[in-house]
Amino acid sequence: MSRICIIPSLYLHMLLILACFALSNAVQSDIDCLRSIKKSLQDTYSVLVSWDFSNEAEGFICRFTGVECWHIDESRVMNLRLSDIGLRGAFPLGLKNCTSLTTLDLSRNQLQGPLPTNLTDVIPFVSSLDLSYNSFSGPIPPSLANCSFINILKLNNNHLTGEIPPQLGGLNRLSDFSVANNRLSGPVPYFYNATAAAGSYINNLGLCGGPLSPCKNDQGHTNPFNIIINFERHIDPFIFGFQVGFTPAILSTLLMFFFFPRGASRLSISLVITYHFITKKILMGRRQRLIEEIFQIQLTEDSGSEESKVTAMEKYIRRMSLEEIEMATNNFDIEKVIGRGNMGLMYKAMLSNGLLLAVKRLHKFESFKKEFLLEIEILGRLRHTNLVPLLAFCFEMEKKFLVYKYMSNRTLHQWLHCMPQVEGKKMGWTLRFRIAIGIARGLAWLHHNNVLRVAHCKINSNCILLDDEFEPKISNFGNSKILMNTSGIPSSCCNFVVPEFSLGPYKEDVYSFGIVLLELISGREPSTWINSSTELYVIDGCLAEQGFDEEIYGTLRIAKNCIRVQNDRELSMLQVHQAMCAISKTRNEISVD
């Protein structure tokens, strides 16, 4: 389907230049944006209390609840996720000052009133807009059709009225759309790229057409042949020119027939007839190709092909072009390679606006298709402080890429075992313990969140990335298992979901986390102590007699309990995280005293 909505390269470059210019001036405006949002909305649960604007440190707003920045040290808001926190009020117009915003999630709050008619001016670059489960009323603004970057649009479970603007059908990037449970009526638009099923429109007053029952006096909005007619009339200049010029040509011929010599008349008639048949043949050829293309697209959507599955992933995460990837990696310069793994190479990349990325280029093996789709689905649907942010993906010319936020401090394994063992590179216990708590928190959330419960199944120090502040980020979900899908959204990449009562994968994560804890405590590769039972030999010498002995031994006991889960011992990551937090709490109480 991407063939229909390809953006010309020059246009894309112009957008990148404009975006770069906008981002360079966005820092203060983004601060003003968040300040305006906090001021205009009622914070029922006092969640936005953490938005303290008295701090003037660079990037301070990036630590606010629900705020994700392009870079942790720059106040440029990339995503704003304020779902289900009890916000009241109207749609915050101050969002127009968040000039770099790409994701806006205000779902499951108590917002009300009409949506702004000038949404294009407020959120021009947003690619994911979720306003579902609020109390917004009035019509859907036609100006939404001008937000050309949108690929996810969720307006379901509100009080919206009127017709769905047919202009929304022009959103070529749109892949996930829902207006269910509103008060809408009239025909539904035809989308070139969206897969809006009947469930996207249920429980409205009188919607019709498309996947729903036909409209009365149906004008054929969704009939493929009427799409072809509209395409011919409004898009193809050749067909339009023929339709405009054919009638005058006939009139001119008739005039020549009556007022000019017979020879000239016959010649003109012959020319017009020839012109007619040649043009008709061209038209029929174009029409046939268009019919084949439309029905080929429909067949692709209905089939289980790899391309259709990848296209379905666009509702979770942005899709980049191969051209963008090549530009960011300097055409896959070997000097940009920062890692090599079983699945492929990792490149350090940079967009034209200065944003650093880590691009994983997968080897061209069929066996990696599942891993590719699984990584997109899990990291596209789940966002957490301790999960590596997946920003985009690319599937083009049978090449697969995963695009992550760049983690400047590489992996935990490199810090423990590969860095020069000098004082400045040696991790102290305080940092190791903080990393351990972050990993435990991320795993516990994976196992117990209310969207998609996942077992990682391959936790080790190599898949723990460290950001600028050494906050751990769990990565490499290609071997993970989805244990429960509580969101109601079918899995796009897996034919089945492992039953939750199958605790094996959960136990595997608990056991592996125990190994990582021992690695943090010992500072050694697991292979050197995995069979050792003497505590004296698993504690890193540089950690001894630093005032943390009791804390280290407490953590060591947790590690051994994690490893014992292989003997049918019941221990969840939530319990492990709570036990580690108890050690941390004891430390804080001692330091306060």
User: Residue 372's domain is classified under what CATH number?
Assistant: 3.30.200.20
Instruction: Give the CA distances from residue 200 to residues 124, 178, 589, in Å, rounded to whole numbers and listed in that order.
Output: 24, 4, 52
Count how many residues are written for the chain: 593
Ranking 131-135, 313-317, 467-471, 509-513 by mean pLDDT, the lowest is 313-317
Ranking 75-89, 218-232, 248-262 by mean pLDDT, the lowest is 218-232
pLDDT at 299 over 80: no
State the average pLDDT over residues 483-495: 59
Asked if residue 309 is part of any domain, the answer here is no
> Is there a single domain that holds both residue 157 and residue 271?
no
Distance of alpha carbon 115 from alpha carbon 582, whole angstroms: 46
Domain boundary among 203, 222, 241: 222
pLDDT at 424 over 70: no
The residue among 126, 133, 170 whose CA lies nearest residue 149 is 126
Confidence of residue 493 (pLDDT cuts 50, 70, 90): low
Residue 482, phi-psi category: left (phi > 0), alpha (psi -120 to 50), beta (remainder): beta
Backbone angles phi, psi at 159, to 5 degrees: -125, 35
Furthest C-alpha separation in the chain? 115
Distance of alpha carbon 380 from alpha carbon 393, whole angstroms: 10
The residue among 115, 131, 141 whose CA lies nearest residue 80 is 131
> Is there a single domain that holds both residue 390 and residue 500?
no
State the average pLDDT over residues 94-120: 90
**DSSP, residue by residue, 217-247:** T---SS-HHHHHHHHHHHT-HHHHHHHHHHH
Asked if residue 528 is part of any domain, the answer here is yes
State the average pLDDT over residues 279-290: 49
> Is there a single domain that holds both residue 463 and residue 522?
yes
Confidence of residue 245 (pLDDT cuts 50, 70, 90): low
Distance of alpha carbon 399 from alpha carbon 417, whole angstroms: 33
Q: pLDDT at position 256, please? A: 52
Amino acid identity for residue 231 in this structure: F
Distance of alpha carbon 287 from alpha carbon 298, whole angstroms: 17
pLDDT at 590 over 90: no
Asked if residue 115 is part of any domain, the answer here is yes
Q: Per DSSP, which regions of 259-398 are E strands?
A: 318-319, 337-340, 344-350, 356-362, 390-396
> Is there a single domain that holds both residue 386 and residue 496?
no
Specify whether the CB–CB gap between 316 and 382 falls below 8 A.
no
Q: pLDDT at position 505, please? A: 78
Confidence of residue 591 (pLDDT cuts 50, 70, 90): very low
pLDDT at 297 over 50: no
> Is there a single domain that holds both residue 418 and residue 381?
no
Domain boundary among 405, 429, 450: 405
> Is there a single domain that holds both residue 396 and residue 510?
no
Asked if residue 578 is part of any domain, the answer here is yes
SS3 of residue 456 by DSSP: coil
Q: pLDDT at position 403, please? A: 94
Asked if residue 91 is part of any domain, the answer here is yes
The percentage of residues in the chain with a pLDDT greater than 70, rounded to a whole number, is 70
SS3 of residue 92 by DSSP: coil
> Is there a single domain that holds both residue 183 and residue 291?
no
Q: pLDDT at position 71, please? A: 72
Top pLDDT among 374 and 298 is at 374
The residue among 440, 438, 435 whose CA lies nearest residue 575 is 440
- What's the DSSP call for residue 213? P
- With b for 16 or more beta-carbon neighbours within 10 A and e for fewer, the 97-106 pattern comes to bbbbbbbbbb
* Partners of 81 in the β-ladder: 105
Top pLDDT among 238 and 396 is at 396
pLDDT at 2 over 70: no
Ranking 425-439, 482-496, 513-527 by mean pLDDT, the lowest is 482-496
> Is there a single domain that holds both residue 55 and residue 197?
yes
The residue among 391, 352, 306 whose CA lies nearest residue 127 is 391
State the average pLDDT over residues 188-216: 80
Q: pLDDT at position 489, please? A: 57
> Is there a single domain that holds both residue 94 and residue 194?
yes
Domain boundary among 267, 302, 337: 302
In whole angstroms, how large is the CA radius of gyration of the chain? 29
Neighbour count for residue 519 (Cβ, 10 Å): 26
Ranking 53-57, 151-155, 225-229 by mean pLDDT, the lowest is 225-229
pLDDT tens-place string over residues 554-567: 999 999 999 888 76
State the average pLDDT over residues 194-222: 74
> Is there a single domain that holds both residue 292 and residue 440?
no
pLDDT at 476 over 80: yes
Top pLDDT among 35 and 24 is at 35
| Torsion angle of C-alpha atoms 465, 471, 473, 474, degrees rounded to 10 | 90
* Partners of 114 in the β-ladder: 137
Residue 537, phi-psi category: left (phi > 0), alpha (psi -120 to 50), beta (remainder): alpha
Distance of alpha carbon 464 from alpha carbon 301, whole angstroms: 37
Lookup: tokens for 98: 């968040």
Give me the CATH number covering residue 65. 3.80.10.10
Asked if residue 65 is part of any domain, the answer here is yes
pLDDT tens-place string over residues 145-191: 888 888 889 999 999 999 999 888 888 778 888 999 998 988 998 77
Asked if residue 561 is part of any domain, the answer here is yes
Q: pLDDT at position 371, please? A: 85
Specify whether the CB–CB gap between 533 and 466 falls below 8 A.
no
> Is there a single domain that holds both residue 42 and residue 74?
yes
> Is there a single domain that holds both residue 197 and residue 217?
yes
| Tally of domains in the chain | 4
Domain housing 324: 319-405
- What's the DSSP call for residue 489? P
Asked if residue 2 is part of any domain, the answer here is no
State the average pLDDT over residues 500-528: 82
